[in-house]
Amino acid sequence: MTVLDDKGVSPLMTHAPTADTPDLSAVRPDVDALLTAFLDRKAHLTPGPELAPLFTVLSRLLVSGKRLRPQLCVAGWHAAGGHGDQSTVLHVAAALELFQAFALIHDDVMDGSDLRRGEPTAHRALAAAYTAGGGRRGRAEAHGQSAAILLGDLTLVWSDDLLHSAGLDDGALRRVLPLVDTMRSELVYGQYLDLRSSDRLSDDVEAALRVVRYKTAKYTVEWPLRLGAVLAGAAPDVLDACSAFAVPLGEAFQLRDDLLGVFGDPAETGKPVGDDIREGKATVLMALAVRAASAADQQLLGTLVGSPDLTGGDLHRVRAVLERTGARQHVEEMISARRGTALAALDQAPFPAAAAAALRAIAQIATVRQA
Amino acid sequence: MTVLDDKGVSPLMTHAPTADTPDLSAVRPDVDALLTAFLDRKAHLTPGPELAPLFTVLSRLLVSGKRLRPQLCVAGWHAAGGHGDQSTVLHVAAALELFQAFALIHDDVMDGSDLRRGEPTAHRALAAAYTAGGGRRGRAEAHGQSAAILLGDLTLVWSDDLLHSAGLDDGALRRVLPLVDTMRSELVYGQYLDLRSSDRLSDDVEAALRVVRYKTAKYTVEWPLRLGAVLAGAAPDVLDACSAFAVPLGEAFQLRDDLLGVFGDPAETGKPVGDDIREGKATVLMALAVRAASAADQQLLGTLVGSPDLTGGDLHRVRAVLERTGARQHVEEMISARRGTALAALDQAPFPAAAAAALRAIAQIATVRQA
């Protein structure tokens, strides 16, 4: 499964800051401050100290993350001519980050993952807190899983709460709510399509691309960008330009992530290499390999992909198939083509030059990164 | 855990219809029609036929249920003087029912329950659909669980979607959103408190009552009633009267449910008797028994409560302790006291007489029922 995490994405604008480019590097600390203040308010309103583990675990998860979606949201706001007081758009951006935290918490439960960004996942941390608080050791795992389902639910509900208290005027609220509703449905659709296609080896490149489109292109890039633009009262042509840029960029972003998951350096990506292979994730990369593989290579993939106890040697053999079928190269070309389409869309977009420059920097970081 | 299900609550107004009492019996078919139309709209917008199992499972879950929360919502609207076109309040009531479906789906995953209202739970049904669709049998259980987590998420998101398209004017939307946010947080708080207290035998009556307050009194009764009242533009004294009636009634409702769970007739309640004992649920009933039990009885409870393979004989022994400690009788008295408080609040409430009569009927059904 795995919702795309943005841990590896560098803070923006550290590479190419110019005087007239919106300074998106401030988004992260600003969003952090809003999230901290929000959780503090909630902590004061809870019915008892027994809820403390929920706060501890969520706070720690929120500390990390590079705020890709918030940055895209603020960039979209600039792209639609937003200027002046950023308080509202930053609140909305922070709500997006809470929504992403919800998605990660449930994703980790579904995948049974132990670590997220080098720390115990929510369900593991909540299981540990339960045992530390005197709970029966034999029930800790089940408790952790249930508690994490509840924490995910709470985080989803809180993302709404933060959105509703963002200071939106009536018109903006009316524009934003349906967009957020669509974004959230589409993420779940993408997750479910992904869940269904995992565990069966497939040569269906289109099906794999559809998952990419829903889970990453739309959820991670298109909707945050459009959300910011809508807040600034974007005209239809601006919204169209947002999508024309965002969807190919988002696809390229996920395709790069898929390559890094198999060929990346764990020291740079921060996650174990080969997990997608172990989980049998139906990536575009794998579908292309299956499609082009010889009978012998198909059999090799059939044996190894989705095998939880994959060895280093197995991974090496799978990689060799991905190379010799041309699948790796093909995905590199797909990334290039999509980056090109996104940048061309940006050249045509009716965005202020500074906003376009910021989005160009995002496109670069998202598609050529090593981590 | 278990969110209170209203399967056993009879449709209202079949007992005491009078000419000037709002006819709440129409709420159920009206809400059913709105939910069906909503799911049909969503089905037309989905990205592919692979999503069909989500719709099938959710539709079946939504068919049952007696619409207690929707009826309370409409009753609250009448109580605050609402009259004329009910379209908006019915949409909001339907959104409440979707939210309840979300709560049940996740609850069943957390409890690992096989049946809900006599049918396979969402995670069991989704596991079966996966196997039927060619998924690997060995992964069906994990798939069903993940798919049900996602279906719950989707149902929660959709409850918002339906609320946002309910036709609320700006003022009503501003009043309703914070109330819904609070309701949803409080349910999760209650669920988490319940989760933490399960599996340890406790004499803490206050802690058990707090869970009752959050999970049932507020979530199931107070918030639906206030939501309807707020929609009709209720003044503060009307809202106060809603709470003064709802909280004791909701507590009585849950206390009755706890008694039925141990002493009820499965043929009438529609659920196996003794599940609360098997799960080690920290009910008020059990806390009272632990508090008053002899050393020998405490030991007996310690051995049997929370034992998944409880026999009929074990259950009989636990029941005997609940009787001889006076816990059962004590809970009956708590129910009576709370029903009395609720009805007295109703006598003082500034509600139209017809609305008060409808609420009086609800109070009767909810507290003296056999199922």
Q: What is the pLDDT of residues B249-259, one digit of tens each?
A: 999 999 999 99
CB-nearest partner of A50 from B133, B143, B196: B196
CB-nearest partner of A106 from B112, B149, B188: B149
Q: Which of A41, A44, A188 to mutate to test the interface with B (most CBs of B within 10 A)?
A: A188
**Cβ contact B47–A189 (<8 Å):** yes
**Cβ contact A154–B185 (<8 Å):** yes
* B41–chain A nearest CA distance, Å: 13
Q: Which residues of B touch A139 (CB under 8 A)?
A: 199
SS3 A65: coil
- Section A173-184 average pLDDT: 97
Query: Does residue A12 have a pLDDT over 60?
Result: no
Note whether residue A5 is domain-resident: no
Domain count of the fold of chain A: 2
CB-nearest partner of B188 from A110, A150, A173: A150
Note whether residue A98 is domain-resident: yes
Q: Which residues of A touch B161 (CB under 8 A)?
A: 178, 181, 185
CB-nearest partner of A195 from B150, B165, B177: B150
**Cβ contact A161–B154 (<8 Å):** no
Choose the final residue of a domain: A135, A152, A167: A167
Q: Looking at chain B, which residue has its C-alpha nearest residue A146?
A: B110
- Angle value at C-alpha A112, between A321 and A104, nearest 5 degrees: 95
* A158–chain B nearest CA distance, Å: 8
- Section A122-148 average pLDDT: 93
Structure tokens at B348: 């003082």
pLDDT digits (tens, 9 = 90+) for B5-36: 765 454 444 344 444 567 788 999 999 999 99
DSSP A14: S
Q: Which residues of A touch B196 (CB under 8 A)?
A: 50, 130, 133, 135
Q: Are A114 and A142 members of one domain?
A: yes
* B184–chain A nearest CA distance, Å: 7
Q: Which residues of A touch B279 (CB under 8 A)?
A: none
SS3 A120: strand
Integer Cα distance of B50 and B5 in angstroms: 30
Note whether residue A2 is domain-resident: no
pLDDT digits (tens, 9 = 90+) for A55-109: 999 999 998 777 999 999 999 999 999 999 999 999 999 999 999 999 999 999 9
Q: Are A161 and A202 members of one domain?
A: no
- Section A253-260 average pLDDT: 94
* A254–chain B nearest CA distance, Å: 19
Query: Does residue B100 have a pLDDT over 70?
Result: yes
DSSP A20: T
Q: Which residues of A touch B152 (CB under 8 A)?
A: 153
pLDDT digits (tens, 9 = 90+) for B171-181: 999 999 999 99
Q: Are A28 and A147 members of one domain?
A: yes
Which residue, among A197, A30, A6, has the nearest Cα to A104 in the 3D structure?
A6
Note whether residue B13 is domain-resident: no
Q: Are A138 and A182 members of one domain?
A: no
Higher pLDDT, A13 or A116: A116
Q: Which pLDDT does position B352 carry in this prediction?
A: 96
Q: Which pLDDT does position B367 carry in this prediction?
A: 87
**Cβ contact A1–B192 (<8 Å):** no
Q: Are A359 and A215 members of one domain?
A: yes
Q: Which of A143, A183, A185, A213 to mutate to test the interface with B (most CBs of B within 10 A)?
A: A185
Q: Classify the phi-psi angles of A67: left when phi > 0, otherwise alpha if psi is within -120 to 50, otherwise beta.
A: left
Neighbouring CB atoms inside 10 A of B15's CB total: 10
- Section B54-82 average pLDDT: 94
Range of A28's domain?
A: 20-167
Q: Which of B159, B184, B187, B188 to mutate to test the interface with A (most CBs of A within 10 A)?
A: B188
Q: Are A225 and A271 members of one domain?
A: yes
Note whether residue A156 is domain-resident: yes
Residue B331 CA to its chain's centroid (Å): 20
Which residue, among A16, A15, A37, has the nearest Cα to A87 in the 3D structure?
A37
pLDDT bucket at A269, cuts 50 / 70 / 90: confident
**Cβ contact B156–A161 (<8 Å):** no
**What angle separates helix A27-45 from helix A68-79, to the nearest 10 degrees?**
120
The percent of residues above 90 in pLDDT, for chain A, comes to: 76
pLDDT bucket at A11, cuts 50 / 70 / 90: very low
Question: Which residues have C-beta within 8 Å of that of residue B242, sequence separation ≥ 6?
Answer: B76, B79, B222, B225, B226, B229, B234, B349
Choose the final residue of a domain: A167, A187, A203: A167
Q: Looking at chain B, which residue has its C-alpha nearest residue A142?
A: B110
Q: Are A103 and A179 members of one domain?
A: no
Q: Are A136 and A216 members of one domain?
A: no
- Section B308-331 average pLDDT: 96
CB-nearest partner of A181 from B134, B161, B177: B161
Q: Which pLDDT does position A21 carry in this prediction?
A: 61
**Cβ contact A193–B50 (<8 Å):** yes
CB-nearest partner of A188 from B50, B142, B154: B154
**Cβ contact B185–A136 (<8 Å):** no
Neighbouring CB atoms inside 10 A of B326's CB total: 13
Q: Are A151 and A234 members of one domain?
A: no
Q: Which residues of A touch B191 (CB under 8 A)?
A: 150
Q: Are A346 and A282 members of one domain?
A: yes
SS3 A177: helix
DSSP A51: G
- Section B93-110 average pLDDT: 97
**Cβ contact A185–B210 (<8 Å):** no
Integer Cα distance of B144 and B130 in angstroms: 7
**Cβ contact A193–B48 (<8 Å):** yes
Q: Are A326 and A264 members of one domain?
A: yes
Q: Looking at chain B, which residue has its C-alpha nearest residue A167?
A: B174
Note whether residue A346 is domain-resident: yes
Q: Looking at chain B, which residue has its C-alpha nearest residue A131?
A: B196
Note whether residue A7 is domain-resident: no
Beta bridge partners of B115: B120
Q: Which pLDDT does position A318 carry in this prediction?
A: 97
**Cβ contact A130–B184 (<8 Å):** no
**Cβ contact A160–B160 (<8 Å):** yes
Q: Classify the phi-psi angles of A30: left when phi > 0, otherwise alpha if psi is within -120 to 50, otherwise beta.
A: alpha
Q: Are A101 and A206 members of one domain?
A: no
Choose the final residue of a domain: A146, A167, A188: A167
Note whether residue B346 is domain-resident: yes
DSSP A217: I
Query: Does residue B233 have a pLDDT over 70?
Result: yes
Which residue, among B95, B24, B35, has the nearest Cα to B62 in the 3D structure?
B35
Q: Which pLDDT does position B17 carry in this prediction?
A: 43
**Cβ contact A146–B177 (<8 Å):** no
Question: Which residues have C-beta within 8 Å of that of residue A214, sequence separation ≥ 6?
Answer: A186, A187, A189, A190, A193, B47
**Cβ contact A192–B54 (<8 Å):** yes
Read off the CATH number of the domain in which A156 is found: 1.10.600.10
